[in-house]
A and B are shown apart, each in its own frame.
Chain A
């Protein structure tokens, strides 16, 4: 069974540009989570989508946004990129009624 898959693996963008990261959850999982792992800041919760709806977001500015598609895949958009947005972005998924979150390999975003 395929795990959580993310693309691209690496992305380099210039300050001010927009970045889009994509995530496919484990088959059957309806909840998708996004976390940011920045150097020195640890793992920070970004967004939670379930059944196509945004259920919760962490303490991040509105330029971090996303959506979940009918097939439960998700994308994270980061607008007006800043240097400090450089991080590993981890996507995770779970069954709505289950409590275990499974993570993907992550997407490295570098802002120059």
Chain B
């Protein structure tokens, strides 16, 4: 079974500050890990993904995430927040052997950016 825990339902930062959204996973097989962003009244947009290889993954809009197997974590970071980053962020996990329909999402973290 797979599960995802996102620490903090809401994270507030100032514009220009570091963004850190935390994600820990549980998986019985080597995981594939994803971060999606959802802007108000919109669907989910893929930010970045980790499958195999380099553990530091760069995505769109200046975001990156690092897969740390020993910590079972896949935290999302951005060096400098922008007002347009305000949205809800979802971490998700799936397994390469059990099919991608087993994409399991965390409950989401709402990122609030203040001027």
Q: Do the two chains belong together in a single complex?
A: yes
A34 to chain B, nearest CB (A): 10
Whether the Cβ atoms of B94 and A99 lie closer than 8 Å is: yes
Q: A45-B103, A56-B99, A56-B101 are in contact. Are A104 and B43 (CB under 8 A)?
A: yes
Task: Say whether, besides A33-B101, A45-B101, A99 and B46 are in contact (CB < 8 Å).
Answer: no
Given contacts A99-B51, A106-B43, contact A43 B90 (CB under 8 A): yes
For A105, the chain B residues whose CB sits under 8 A away are 42-43
Q: How far is the CB of B46 from chain A (nearest CB, A)?
A: 6
Q: Which residue of A lies closest to B104 (CB)?
A: A45
A43 contacts across to B, CB distance below 8 A:
44, 90, 105, 108
Nearest-neighbour CB distance to chain B for A49, whole angstroms, equals: 9
Of B42, B103, B106, B107, which contacts A101 at CB under 8 A? B103
Q: Is A102 an interface residue (CB 8 A)?
A: yes
Interface residues of B (CB under 8 A from A): 32, 34, 36, 42-46, 49, 51, 90, 94, 96, 99-108
Name 15 interchain pairs, CB-CB below 8 A, sorted by A. A4-B43, A33-B103, A43-B44, A45-B104, A48-B99, A55-B99, A90-B44, A99-B32, A99-B49, A99-B51, A99-B94, A99-B100, A101-B100, A105-B42, A105-B43
Q: A55-B99, A55-B101, A99-B32 are in contact. List 18 more A-B contacts (CB 8 A).
A: A42-B105, A42-B106, A42-B107, A42-B108, A43-B108, A45-B101, A45-B103, A48-B101, A56-B99, A56-B101, A99-B49, A99-B94, A100-B34, A100-B46, A101-B103, A104-B43, A106-B42, A106-B43
